Chain A
Amino acid sequence: MKTIEIGTARSTAPGTTKGFLKVGDLPDGQPIRIPVVIVRGETDGPVAWMHGCVHGNEYCGTFIIHDLLRSLDPKTLKGTVVALPILNITAFETKQRMSPFEGYNGGDLNRCFPGQANGPLTQQMAHAIYQPLKQYADVLLDFHTAQTSDVAWALYADLPGDVGARGRAIAKAFGYRSTLPAPGDILGGSAMMTAAKDGIPAFIVEAGGKGPAFTDEIVADATERLRNVLRHLGMLEGAVTDYGAQWHFSNFAWVHSTQGGLFQRSVACGDRVEAGQSIGQYYDLHGLPSGEARAPESGIVLAIHPGPVMSTGETLIHIGLNPREVHA
């Protein structure tokens, strides 16, 4: 069996191996280390690479990956699960999206892949992670959240040929209704698009909201869907569940707020909205209505600001455009 070595996690035989990958140094010289778990089945098969908390406060993904890992048995697994449940560990600790030690480029790790060995901190982190990803992964499954606990949608890199077709089949097996076949000209620097361009089918799950905005039920449901992806890939035994028809979007609209204030949304994720429709209400400090937020485009709500307070420029709403029902 070929050795898989990621940081201190060195897997040479069936079973579970745990370790840490160093992705940088802290200002006090201590290493920035992220957890790695490698579960190898007794039977050969694909290597499914999964990671979470690319954005530090998107904890739901970490809990989904952890839940899956606790359920895996090397005796029944075909192939290998490589899991890095917490990529942006310093942001994870400080409950924020980006590393508190990133001073230069904004630090969105999901715009930094494939990374640079001598770039700013987040670029170096991306480089340290992407090297083994590129070396070992047959598919990439990347777990994110949006803002509110009712978030449930997915994207795959819709590149021409086999990579896009295999991504689409993974999205079908995961089965969230709202799914974006992401065109190759968006989300540059994301792990998904970077891996797909290197020939690795890649898929992003957006499940739950940031911080504590998710439930154990959301984690359990997403973990079962993740198991269904592994069944589809032939890595777990059992029939593949058909979650039914999906909406495929042509693209998404990511809309920033141009007004600040106290905010209460009036639509939920998955709702259909028409351009111009009210999606939430702003109030001033005295509690008086100070404006209505309206949908700038028609489509399906993928994410919406949770309130209760919003400054200008925050993500107000994220809309999936031109939903098209797809049955197979």
Chain B
Amino acid sequence: MENITIGSAVSTGPGRTDGMLQVGWLPDGYPMEIPVIIQRAAQPGPTVWIHGCVHGNEYCGTFIIHKFLREMKLDRGTVIALPVLNITGFQKQQRMSPFEGYNGGDMNRCFPGNPGGSLTEQMAFSVFEHLKKHATHFIDFHTAFTADTRWALFCPPDGKAGEAAEGMARAFGYRDTLPTPMTILGGSALIEAAKLGIPGLIVEAGGIGPAFRPETVAEAVDRLNNVLRQIGLVDGAVEKHEDITFFSNFAWINARRGGLFRPAVRCGVTIKEGDIVGRYYDVHGDLVEEARAPFSGVVLAVGAGPLMPNGEILVHVGLDPRAA
């Protein structure tokens, strides 16, 4: 059995190996390190790379990966898990690293990374080198804003790797799913892995910060185990999920005004262009405007409020839903 080395995690045989991968330096010269778990079965098989908290405050994904690892029984192949990629954002409870000063620091636009780039590009490079080397399949856990978020994206959308990716999405089985065109989300780990022929899945489960429930975590772990059965790492029949809806693309609507805000729609509901998606109030408590949907489709995510600064994501709409 060949060694797998990711930072201080050196896996030489079956079982679980934990370690840390250095992805940069802190301003005081301490290393910036992220956790790595390698789990191998005795039998050879595919290598599934799973990571979370690319955006530092999307904790639900970390909890899903952790619970999955604590409970998993692997029949063949390897799972490599990095449950907390953006560790300094994670510590500060924010999306981007507090040490990123130049390019906005959205790590999921920085892959495959640059060893001579900004902090987040260097972090992305440190991670992606290993992903590229080891992964045969890739799963990335994110959240949106509210606890009721549940949708998924897979990529590539077609071809042989696309078939594998679609199989993963169907095995995970969230109803709302986007076959992701290669032309969007450039710099995301999903797209950059797909360019290398690695089939990938992004799961959007739960909301930022503490906005998620233990039930959401437990259910996502069950679905993740189903993906592992689909790929062949775990024995057993793949559970079929009903009623998958595919979209042609999504529209991300930014707020055109600020104010106190209450959403009026939930994730998963179908909206028509012009429907009220939320209400703005002023500091005296008076209703000042109703925010309306500029597109028809299915609500994938909605701004949680209670405040809405100008330019924040108001609603995220899946376009042209079709039964698949």
A interface vs B, CB < 8 Å?
18, 34-35, 37, 59-60, 62-63, 65-67, 69-70, 85-86, 89, 92-93, 95, 148, 211-214, 216, 262, 264, 283-288, 306-309, 311
Residues in A with CB closer than 8 Å to B305 are: 212
Partner of B70, one of A95, A288, A307: A288
Measured between alpha carbons, how far is A217 from B87 in the docked complex, in Å? 35
Q: How far is the CB of B232 from chain A (nearest CB, A)?
A: 24
Indicate if the CB atoms of B210 and A69 lie closer than 8 Å: no
Measured between alpha carbons, how far is A59 from B308 in the docked complex, in Å? 13
Measured between alpha carbons, how far is A115 from B209 in the docked complex, in Å? 34
Indicate if the CB atoms of A306 and B285 lie closer than 8 Å: no
B interface vs A, CB < 8 Å?
18, 34-35, 37, 59-60, 62-63, 65-67, 69-70, 83-84, 87, 90-91, 93, 145-146, 209-212, 214, 260, 262, 281-286, 304-307
Indicate if the CB atoms of B59 and A287 lie closer than 8 Å: no
Indicate if the CB atoms of A309 and B67 lie closer than 8 Å: no
Measured between alpha carbons, how far is A171 from B17 in the docked complex, in Å? 56
Indicate if the CB atoms of B66 and A70 lie closer than 8 Å: no
Indicate if the CB atoms of A35 and B18 lie closer than 8 Å: no
Q: With CB as the reference atom, state the residue of chain B lying closest to A266.
A: B214
Measured between alpha carbons, how far is A211 from B84 in the docked complex, in Å? 23
Q: How far is the CB of A262 from chain B (nearest CB, A)?
A: 7
Known: A59-B260, A286-B37. 15 other contacts (CB 8 A): A34-B283, A62-B306, A95-B307, A148-B210, A212-B211, A212-B306, A213-B211, A262-B59, A285-B83, A286-B66, A286-B69, A287-B62, A287-B65, A287-B69, A308-B62
Measured between alpha carbons, how far is A63 from B35 in the docked complex, in Å? 40
Indicate if the CB atoms of B306 and A308 lie closer than 8 Å: no
Most central of A59, A89, A288, A309 by chain B CB within 10 Å: A309
Residues in A with CB closer than 8 Å to B62 are: 262, 287, 308
Indicate if the CB atoms of B306 and A262 lie closer than 8 Å: no
Indicate if the CB atoms of B70 and A212 lie closer than 8 Å: no
Residues in B with CB closer than 8 Å to A63 are: 260, 262, 306
Residues in B with CB closer than 8 Å to A67 are: 285
Measured between alpha carbons, how far is A212 from B70 in the docked complex, in Å? 31
Residues in A with CB closer than 8 Å to B284 are: 18, 35, 37, 66, 69, 85
Partner of A66, one of B60, B214, B281: B281
Indicate if the CB atoms of B285 and A287 lie closer than 8 Å: no
Indicate if the CB atoms of B283 and A285 lie closer than 8 Å: no
Indicate if the CB atoms of A69 and B70 lie closer than 8 Å: no
Residues in A with CB closer than 8 Å to B91 are: 309, 311
Measured between alpha carbons, how far is A85 from B63 in the docked complex, in Å? 36
Measured between alpha carbons, how far is A86 from B306 in the docked complex, in Å? 13
Q: How far is the CB of A52 from chain B (nearest CB, A)?
A: 11
Residues in B with CB closer than 8 Å to A308 are: 59-60, 62-63, 209-210, 212
Measured between alpha carbons, how far is A211 from B59 in the docked complex, in Å? 16
Known: A286-B18, A309-B90, A309-B91. A65 touches B63 (CB 8 A): no
Indicate if the CB atoms of B306 and A309 lie closer than 8 Å: no
Indicate if the CB atoms of A213 and B66 lie closer than 8 Å: no
Partner of B285, one of A65, A148, A309, A311: A65
Q: Which 5 A-B pairs have the closest CB atoms?
A: A287-B66, A66-B285, A285-B35, A35-B283, A306-B210
Q: With CB as the reference atom, state the residue of chain A lying closest to B211.
A: A212
Indicate if the CB atoms of A309 and B59 lie closer than 8 Å: yes
Indicate if the CB atoms of A59 and B306 lie closer than 8 Å: yes
Q: How far is the CB of B255 from chain A (nearest CB, A)?
A: 15
Indicate if the CB atoms of B285 and A85 lie closer than 8 Å: yes
Residues in B with CB closer than 8 Å to A86 are: 283
Q: With CB as the reference atom, state the residue of chain B lying closest to A307.
A: B210
Measured between alpha carbons, how far is A286 from B69 in the docked complex, in Å? 9
Measured between alpha carbons, how far is A309 from B306 in the docked complex, in Å? 22
28 A–B contacts, CB within 8 A, in A order:
A34-B283, A59-B260, A59-B306, A65-B285, A66-B281, A67-B285, A70-B286, A85-B283, A85-B284, A92-B307, A212-B145, A212-B304, A213-B211, A264-B63, A264-B214, A285-B35, A285-B83, A286-B35, A286-B37, A286-B66, A287-B62, A287-B67, A287-B69, A307-B59, A308-B62, A308-B209, A308-B212, A309-B59
Residues in A with CB closer than 8 Å to B90 are: 309
Residues in A with CB closer than 8 Å to B282 are: 35
Indicate if the CB atoms of A285 and B209 lie closer than 8 Å: no
Indicate if the CB atoms of A287 and B210 lie closer than 8 Å: no
Measured between alpha carbons, how far is A70 from B285 in the docked complex, in Å? 7
Q: How far is the CB of A15 from chain B (nearest CB, A)?
A: 14
Measured between alpha carbons, how far is A308 from B60 in the docked complex, in Å? 8
Residues in A with CB closer than 8 Å to B210 are: 148, 213, 306-308
Q: With CB as the reference atom, state the residue of chain B lying closest to A211.
A: B209
Q: How far is the CB of B70 from chain A (nearest CB, A)?
A: 6
Most central of A35, A262, A285, A307 by chain B CB within 10 Å: A285
Q: With CB as the reference atom, state the residue of chain A lying closest to B282.
A: A35
Measured between alpha carbons, how far is A213 from B212 in the docked complex, in Å? 11
Most central of A35, A65, A262 by chain B CB within 10 Å: A262
Q: How far is the CB of A263 from chain B (nearest CB, A)?
A: 10
Q: How far is the CB of A60 from chain B (nearest CB, A)?
A: 8
Measured between alpha carbons, how far is A86 from B69 in the docked complex, in Å? 45
Residues in B with CB closer than 8 Å to A148 are: 210
Indicate if the CB atoms of A216 and B262 lie closer than 8 Å: yes
Residues in B with CB closer than 8 Å to A89 are: 283
Q: How far is the CB of A99 from chain B (nearest CB, A)?
A: 16
Partner of A287, one of B34, B70, B286: B70
Measured between alpha carbons, how far is A216 from B212 in the docked complex, in Å? 18
Residues in B with CB closer than 8 Å to A212 are: 145-146, 211, 304-306
